[in-house]
Amino acid sequence: MNKANVTWVLGIVGWVVSFAMFFRWLGAHDWDFFGGWVDAFTASDFATGLLLDLVTVTVMMVAVAVWDRRRLGPRGTAAVIACLSLSVSMSLAVYLARLWQLQRGTPAGS
């Protein structure tokens, strides 16, 4: 298996697992999205640390996409940022896939 396939598989696994756990968590909090977030951030120092790390990585992916927008092209940049609505795993997979396309010589606009 090459690095692109491994990256896509891990991105999809990260997306599926995170959404499965997210929906399970929402169900346990009576589908109260905002109330659940307050509980998640205050449950323990460990949970708070993990969530703050996730927020930091999300902001970092937006920054990387914006800083690299000339090389990624408009569609690549939009794809990386839009994939954050799915998961950070998918956003990173899209970013890496676009970089590998560029290494093979695919133009920035595609």
Q: Which residue has the higher pLDDT, 40 or 48?
A: 48
For residues 72-83, one letter each, b for 16 or more C-beta atoms within 10 angstroms of the residue's C-beta and e for the rest, the string is bbeebbebbbeb
Eight-class DSSP state of 17: H
Residue 8 has pLDDT above 80, yes or no: yes
Q: What is the pTM of this model?
A: 0.72
In a domain, 75, yes or no: yes
In a domain, 109, yes or no: no
In a domain, 91, yes or no: yes
Q: Give the tens place of pLDDT for each residue, 10-41.
A: 889 988 998 898 889 888 888 887 877 788 78
In a domain, 47, yes or no: yes
In a domain, 110, yes or no: no
What range does the domain containing 23 cover? 3-103
Amino acid letter at 54?
A: L
Lowest-confidence region among 35-44, 58-67, 100-109: 100-109
Number of domains, the chain: 1
